[in-house]
Structure 1
Amino acid sequence: MSSFRPPPLAARSPPVIHEGGISGDDAIRATNDDAAISRLAAVNQGYLSDPYAKHFVRRPQRRPPVINRALDTLIQQFLRSGDGSPKTKQIISLGAGSDTRWFLLKAQDLHPARYYEIDFPEITGRKAQIIKKNKEMTELLGEHLLTSGGTEIHSDNYHLVPGDLRNFSTEILPRIASLGFDKSLPTLFLSECVLIYISPHDSANLVQCAADSIESGVFVTYEQILPDDPFGVTMLQNLKMRGIELLGIRAHPSLQRQRDRYLTAGWDEAGAVDMNMFWEQILDGDERTRVSALELFDEVEEWRLLSGHYCVSWGIKIRKGADNGLKNVGLHDI
């Protein structure tokens, strides 16, 4: 039995669908619950530190943790770029679901000037109610407003906003502009297994609109790739049986196509790694040792297959005539 163990990530993953299935937007919404369960399992097993994750799961379950330290690495690089201060930057989390990243950053005084979370109103409403009932989280928020029938929260630097990502340019951008979005600030757009659930046309429009809406910034995406090898075919068949369709996987099926999605949409630089590359070549050796010691793991080959079908990609837009350190954001030369 091997002691090899991957680093965990709980991103939005396909939900468990009961007999009869669900489809469309309901299926996308359901992925949030599965992601929250996976993240809490990773916390309970010692892979992640997140005291807020437990508040978003009604019935904790043990789940194999999904891999992701890569996103945290990119976010920390972004927040430390340029003048080194997170307070001169902003983050837009697309399809944020039950993600607790802002609260973790705020607790460490590492939060950006503005942090926007976007998701369906059913999800933001549930999240808002959970936050309001938690003293520690409301204290981190400070003075804030609960609006729009309980589906929005607004504080000085945190905004929970309902919206449909398919209407990013017409609905979401005007809304966050009314909430202080500043195109002159370095901006990070974060998509964790989100864009792959909408059509290639809508996701391409979003990525290009994001580039057009800022002077400088980074777009980070975590999602599945390689749909046509034996493992990928089986993966898609299993998801289809559960009512889930990855609408965007064939538009960006490889690491190169993931890079191309940014370069063709107006981003200046781009990169991509799969989770095997991140674990073996990029993650700090001490962290690999720590994670490997948490529990025995005897499904190495299956995990490697799975990890090879998930990637993190990023695009960078650099302000013309100015170097604000964003060129150093990436997983290629750590």
Structure 2
Amino acid sequence: MDQLQKKHIDTKRGFSYTYYISPAEKADSSKPVLLLCHGWPDNAHMWQWVVPHLLKTKNRIIVPDLLGYGGTSKPTDPKDYEIKGMTDDILEIFETEKIDSQIIPVGHDWGSYFAQRVYLLNKSRTAGLITLNVALMPPRSDAFDLDTFNAYTEKTIGYPAYAYWELFSDPEGPRTVMDPNLESLYYAIHGDSDDWMKAMFCTRGAIRAFVSQGRKDVPLKKYAQDESFKTAFIAEKKDGGMTAPGCWYRAMRENYQLPTEKKLAEQGVKVDQPYLFIGCTGDAVCRTDAIEIPKQAGIVSDVEVRELESGHWCPFEKPEEVGGIVVEWLGKKGFA
């Protein structure tokens, strides 16, 4: 991230955003700008090991701390995390920077959902779409119900894929469970043992019990063994707490996203420009085969699917591979 300039804006909605941007003079303004969107529980620095690979292209890069994270405002009302409002916030960065180039949103985890909606809500501004781990989520016209969703995945794939939402979307969960046990949360997220994510995230009550008990009895992924990496994670979470990041889950579970989702569903929007989806073999929550849902529904057309031998946090675990695949795809599509 040292090669990017750190900046701040205050948006029309009254929130302050921190973002990082590459120099204009090193990019080709005729090429799309890459908008890198992190997910839970990270910040812009999640892309720190991928950015050097992307800087080899002629694309300008913008990497924001999304709402609730890093140096950006951290409201604790889930209404503030309505997706249309948040995407409009980010587009104000482009206005501030006087950038009128096309955009390719790139997202991981919740940042993938965010990137998808940047695309679908602003198709005239976008040239393509890239998502990591989370395949395209078709807009829904009905309310989201966590119990119904978990029952469905339990029936279709054998386990409740969103079991961890019972903690993450609990209004009191961040304050009472996560904040007092940040190191344990770190181990729960970055643990490295057979089927760890399935056991921890897709088993009812598992992650709440692990974190509540302050457990650390699991080996860590290689990148997470770095003491400075862990220290930075814990320091940032101590500074802002986990309540604001949890609002991303609450906004969906409490259906603050429904009006925008319903409108998109009624419009029948599609991803009809080039789409790159990178899945991971070790991700029990965000499965690669989920791409079949939008493919079969005819919502995506020009889609390339790649899969990495990695857990959920592939930008940390396999940054060279992620960067290489993205750069290759950009070149192949004439975007780089």
TM-score by length of 2: 0.28
TM-score normalised per structure 1: 0.28
